[in-house]
Amino acid sequence: MSIEKAHVSFYKITQCAYFARGDETSLFGSVQEVLEDLQAWSAGKKLIETKVSEVIESDSSGNTFLLDIETKQGTWLITTWNETASTDGQVASVQGESNVGEAEIHMNGIAEGSIPGYATYFWVIPTRNIFASIRFQHPYTAQKPFRAYVNKFMECHGRHVVVGDPEPESDYPILGYINATGDDPRHAYARFRTELLRNPGQKQFMLDNLHRITKIVRKETLNLSESEHLSLWQKLLRQANLSAPQALPIEPHISYDIPFHPTVEDINNLFLSWEENTESAWDDFGVRISGDQNIHWVSHTFARKEFELNIERDNPEVVNSESLIDAVLNNKNHILAVVPS
């Protein structure tokens, strides 16, 4: 066991049920049911069998797998494995001291049958319709892949799903959804929707001081595998007269500010953009206010905090699930104190 820093961010589950088309009133389904079904469905399965869908080519994230699921004291801990990109059974890494334009790439072998990736953790409290992402050494929460995973699981598996006999074009076609055994299957749509829990005070402060905002500040992580980001990175190097040999980070962090006098709509869009698109701990939006030396960050609006947890690791990558849920429950009151009442 060792003490490690855990970065905890809370989310509200706004929808976790089945809906008729065009209707915002749920037909049936609950968070507790989904978690019970996920636990039962995964029992005895191999990890590779817990993939619920194939990612599309335009998705920069890989497949998601269920690594473990634990429940204790009415709460649940879900550990997912997030696949990272590989090439012909190898993972690429770049030599940090390589020169720009002359990067030295290493292809590291992957053990046969293994899936390259990293673990992420989600602590769910069904009675409050909230969950927390818990991250340790990695900068990403992988909350969006988790949300997509649960939504697809609800769509294809669990007590409310009715499947037919295997067909050539579909192993087990979905015939519809039911509330209880014996019901006639009906058309419905699974929805698992979440949003970051927030303290409205910070956003209201920005709106109240709208006329005093002079600049928008942006912190961003560049993904150099994307041509647009790579082009921007190279342009920044040239403008700084740094085209000479420099170390090439895989995901460089940049920060810039723009003179701007935002409208109410602009502020709303800042919060929406950050919530929908941010996975990295670095990425953020902020504002500078006339007469105030501080930068007021959008991220400070949300229910998130760093805690020290006494945990045990199964290996350098994965935290033991039982030790993590115990550590969270031992600090439950302190952790939940960041959740707005």
Q: What is the pLDDT of residues 177-189, one digit of tens each?
A: 999 998 999 999 9
Which tens digit of pLDDT belongs to each residue from 272-319?
A: 877 776 666 678 888 899 988 888 888 777 777 899 999 999 988 899
Beta strands (DSSP E) in the chain are: 2-19, 64-72, 75-83, 90-94, 105-109, 117-125, 130-135, 161-163, 174-177, 189-196, 213-221, 253-259, 284-289, 295-297, 304-311
User: Which residues, 6+ apart, have CB-to-CB distance to 156 below 8 Å?
Assistant: 52, 53, 174
Q: What's the rounded Cα separation, in Å, for the pair 108 and 33? A: 41
Task: Report the pLDDT value the prediction gives residue 102, as an integer from 0 to 100.
Answer: 53
Closest CA to 81 of 46, 117, 133, 44: 117
Single pTM value for the model: 0.74
Q: What's the rounded Cα separation, in Å, for the pair 310 and 332? A: 13
Task: Report the pLDDT value the prediction gives residue 93, as an integer from 0 to 100.
Answer: 53
For the chain, 341 residues long, the average pLDDT of each consecutive 10-residue run is 92 96 92 98 92 64 88 97 72 51 57 82 97 89 92 95 80 88 94 86 85 88 74 77 54 83 88 70 83 83 86 92 97 92 72
Helix (H) or strand (E) holding 329: helix 321-330
Task: Find where tokens 């995901």 sit.
Answer: 251
Q: What's the rounded Cα separation, in Å, for the pair 48 and 65? A: 7
Q: What's the rounded Cα separation, in Å, for the pair 286 and 3? A: 32
Q: What is the mean pLDDT of the chain?
A: 84
